Amino acid sequence: MCWQAWQDDPNAMWNWNGLYRNGSAGNFEAVVPDGQLCSGGRTEGGRYDSLDTVGAWRTTDIGGTFTVKLYDQASHGADYFLVYVTRQGFDPATQPLTWDDLQLVARTGAYAPSQNYSIGVSTSGLSGRHVVYTIWQASHMDQTYFLCSDVNFR
C-alpha cells in the first residue's frame, strides 16, 4: 500500500505536515466525508487521496494500552487531541473508514506549544486489525490535522 501511495503522489510521502484543514470549527463530520477520513477530506488538491485506499496496509502490533506520540516541528500547541479506534468487526482491509466505524477512546485538554506530544490511550476487548484515528486541533488557529494509524491489537 505504501508503494501504491508513492505511485499516486510521492509528495504525500514527504509532506505529512500538510495533512490538515482550516476552518472546520470542530464540525469534522461536515468537512471530512465518510471514506475520506485518512486524507482529511481529500485536502491539498488530492495529494493524500491514496491514504483512503482500502487494503492490507502494514500494521503495527499494539496492546490495549498504548501511547500516541506526535512530533510538531512548528510547535503549534493543541487545543485538544481526539483519539478514536475502529469498532470491533470493522475490517480496514476491505471497508472504507466512516465516522460510524469510530469509537472515541481519548480526549485531551490543551497542550502548550511543544515539539513532542504524548497521549495515553486505554482500550479493552479489541483484537485484530484496526485503525487508530487521531484528530489534532492546533491552538495557533482553527487548523485541524487528521492522522490514521493501521494497527493490530494482539
Q: Residues near 101 by Cβ (< 8 Å), separated by ≥ 6?
A: 86, 87, 90, 95, 131
Its sign, for the CA torsion 104, 106, 110, 113, is negative
Task: Please report the beta strands in the chain, taking only residues with DSSP state E, as ranges in sequence order.
Answer: 20-22, 60-62, 65-71, 78-86, 102-107, 116-122, 128-138, 143-153
> What is the pLDDT tens value at each position of the chain, 154 positions in all?
777 788 888 888 777 678 899 999 999 999 999 999 999 998 888 889 999 999 999 999 999 999 999 999 889 999 999 999 999 999 999 999 999 999 999 999 999 999 999 999 999 999 999 999 999 999 988 999 999 999 999 9
Domains of the chain, earliest start first: 2-153 (2.70.50.50)
pTM: 0.94
Strands 128-138 and 116-122 turn out to be: unpaired
Tabulate helix, strand, coil % of the chain (nearest 5).
20, 40, 45
pLDDT attached to residue 98: 98
Question: Is residue 50 a contact partner of residue 42, using CB atoms and an 8 Å limit?
Answer: no
